[in-house]
Amino acid sequence: MFKLTNRQQRRSLWVLLVGLFLLVALLIPTTSWVKSRTKEKAAQHNSQLSPLIMIPGSSATKNRFDTLVKLLNQGSATKHSLLKVEVYNSGKITYTGKIRRGDTEPIIVVAFENNGSTLNLVDGLP
């Protein structure tokens, strides 16, 4: 169809070679970046915690779930860590226990000082 001159052929070949060089130059860092990001995401996914968070109800203390925690640990091959957090009206926070390194399913109990019944708060509502 079209007849290319020598000059046009050389120019086309030059453009093709430059395009291939740019493609390879971009492909190498992109490939290594994708591999490193995939490895990072896999490490994050494998290390994420999946805690069981329990909050005692009306007038219950931070020790409300002690029996349940013992039962859970008896029925499990790996013992779960127990962290008890107590939140006071003043904003002070105290805790007992700890989350053991490597425990991906720790048990966290969060107890509030102001945990009285809310029934008397809604008595006057229609």
Q: For residue range 26-48, list pLDDT tens digits in order.
A: 999 998 888 888 887 776 666 67
In a domain, 122, yes or no: no
The answer to whether residues 92 and 38 belong to one domain is: no
Within 10 angstroms of residue 84's Cβ, the number of other Cβ atoms is 21
| Higher per-residue confidence, 58 vs 98 | 98
pTM of the model: 0.57
Q: Is the pLDDT of residue 8 over 90?
A: no
The answer to whether residues 59 and 107 belong to one domain is: yes
Averaged pLDDT of the chain: 86
Report the pLDDT value the prediction gives residue 122, as an integer from 0 to 100: 55
The answer to whether residues 36 and 62 belong to one domain is: no
The answer to whether residues 6 and 40 belong to one domain is: yes
Band of the pLDDT at 66, cuts 50, 70, 90? very high
Query: Which residue segment(s) compose the domain that 16 sits in?
Result: 1-47
The answer to whether residues 30 and 73 belong to one domain is: no
Structure tokens at 84: 């008890």
* Tokens 């329990």, located at residue: 54
| Higher per-residue confidence, 112 vs 124 | 112
Report the pLDDT value the prediction gives residue 117, as an integer from 0 to 100: 65
The answer to whether residues 67 and 102 belong to one domain is: yes
Q: How many domains does the chain have?
A: 2
The answer to whether residues 80 and 110 belong to one domain is: yes
| Higher per-residue confidence, 78 vs 94 | 94
Q: Is the pLDDT of residue 123 over 80?
A: no
Task: Measure the CA–CA gap between 118 and 58, rounded to whole angstroms.
Answer: 8
Q: For residue range 104-119, list pLDDT tens digits in order.
A: 899 999 999 888 766 6
The answer to whether residues 58 and 96 belong to one domain is: yes
Q: Which of 119, 111, 118, 115 is nearest to 59 (CA)?
A: 115
